[in-house]
Amino acid sequence: MAGEKSFLIGDLPGLTPQLGRLVSMMRYVRDTTRDAVAGLGVDELDYLHDRESNSIGALLAHVAAVEEWYQAATFDGRRLEPSDMGEWGAALDLGEAARREIRGRPLDAYLIRLSAVRERTLAELSSRDDAWLEERSPFWAGAPANNHFKWFHVFEDELNHRGQIRWLRARAARPGNISNR
Amino acid sequence: MAGEKSFLIGDLPGLTPQLGRLVSMMRYVRDTTRDAVAGLGVDELDYLHDRESNSIGALLAHVAAVEEWYQAATFDGRRLEPSDMGEWGAALDLGEAARREIRGRPLDAYLIRLSAVRERTLAELSSRDDAWLEERSPFWAGAPANNHFKWFHVFEDELNHRGQIRWLRARAARPGNISNR
């Protein structure tokens, strides 16, 4: 899949300059997330390294949940709760509920969920512009954040978890290491 | 330290618009990396979760090594080898050599190294402009990459490892879990 990736951060058709660069980054990050899970079976997606570990599947679902949360926050001006996300809700906060509820699903279920969420992100961003990226609102601890930061945060959180996914994948794939059977 | 962080991606004094946004991201990422290791002792920095795991210290040293590698690549037009980095060289490729050589150092040694490397990055970037970010050269598998991508990659790799550092920190801090004594 590496051949499909672009190593250019720059203008993209239909997007204003800053949005083009932001979406270039989001796209590259997502390509690498998909590469990191390519070919995984249900056992590997459900693998729990220890009692406090998140599974790779839960981390993938979390990436989609975070993106949906920021869609609501920045496009709709509302705060999503896990219960607003149906069967995927437990992924928002990870931990115990996600270990219990986000499992037994094939890779495609996660990839379809990620693509569906991303589709809306791209549609919404393409109707906005660089001035929108500058808009600020109170954020963590009341400090101001602009929309550019919020969408940067969506992919920086994804990268954080991609690092964990790569680490977990190397362990989950070892014979005898599937702890969920 | 959270109070010191900015949640704005935008213009920065003395930098052209795209560079300002790039450096805003690099700075936020580094702040979170520092937060992720705050207060760690040598035992925790050297903690090896298993035989193939990298220590938190080695990951911190890797972050600095990658940044120095891209300085040479993009500012000096040359390819650095681990041997060009002296006592820190083993961190570039991680793995066995890093497990052997990057250890026994206090947190400050890593933080000082990170700051020293970052200082040069900021000095060099402040003498460049957005047109420089667009400059392309052959990169992975010969596909073109621009300087914007290369510096994006420096912080996206850092985030990948920050995710691993957070995961390892939660395990290294448990009594009895220090495997290097």
Question: Residues A21-34: pLDDT tens digits?
Answer: 999 999 999 999 99
pLDDT tens-place string over residues B68-95: 999 999 999 999 999 999 999 999 999 9
Distance CA A154, CA B100 (A): 36
Which of B7, B16, B147 to mutate against chain A (most A CBs within 10 Å)?
A: B7
How do the pLDDT tens digits run along chain B, 181 residues long? 445 789 999 999 999 999 999 999 999 999 999 999 999 999 999 999 999 999 999 999 999 999 999 999 999 999 999 999 999 999 999 999 999 999 999 999 999 999 999 999 999 999 999 999 999 999 999 999 999 999 999 999 999 999 999 999 999 976 666 554 3
Residues of A with CB under 8 A from a CB of B: 2-3, 5-10, 18, 21, 24-25, 28-29, 50, 52-53, 133-134, 136, 139-141, 143-146, 148-149, 152, 156, 159-164, 166-167, 170-171
- Nearest chain B residue to A152 by CA: give it: B25
pLDDT of residue B5: 86
pLDDT of residue B175: 62
What's phi and psi for B99, nearest 5 deg?
A: -60, -35
Candidates B24, B143, B162; nearest CB to A160: B162
Sequence-distant (6+) residues with CB within 8 A of B95 are B54
The answer to whether residue A157 scores a pLDDT higher than 70 is: yes
B114, amino acid identity: L
pLDDT of residue B130: 98
Q: In a 3-state reduction of DSSP, which class is residue B145? A: strand
- Other C-beta atoms closer than 10 Å to the C-beta of A23 total 20
Alpha helices in A1-106 (DSSP H): 17-37, 42-46, 56-71, 95-101
pLDDT of residue A95: 92
Do the chains contact at B8 and A136, CB–CB below 8 Å?
A: yes
- Nearest chain A residue to B143 by CA: give it: A7
pLDDT of residue B4: 72
As a whole number, mean pLDDT of residues A98-103 equals 96
Structure tokens given for A138: 């109170």
Q: Are B57 and B109 in contact (CB under 8 A)?
A: no
Do the chains contact at A160 and B159, CB–CB below 8 Å?
A: yes
The answer to whether residue A9 scores a pLDDT higher than 90 is: yes
pLDDT of residue A4: 72
Residue B130: CA count within 13 A, CB half-sphere = 14
Q: In a 3-state reduction of DSSP, which class is residue A13? A: coil
Distance CA A153, CA A73 (A): 13
Structure tokens given for A6: 């672009």
pLDDT of residue A2: 45
Share of chain A above pLDDT 70, in %: 94
What's phi and psi for B124, nearest 5 deg?
A: -70, -45
Of B22, B8, B12, B30, nearest in space to B161 by CA: B30
- Nearest chain A residue to B18 by CA: give it: A18
Distance of residue B30 Cα from the nearest chain A Cα, in angstroms: 12
- Nearest chain B residue to A59 by CA: give it: B163
In DSSP notation, B2-17 reads GGG--B--S--TTS-H
Q: A113: pLDDT confidence band, cut at 50, 70 and 90?
A: very high
pLDDT of residue A118: 98
Q: A177: pLDDT confidence band, cut at 50, 70 and 90?
A: low
pLDDT tens-place string over residues A35-69: 999 999 999 999 999 999 999 999 999 999 999 99
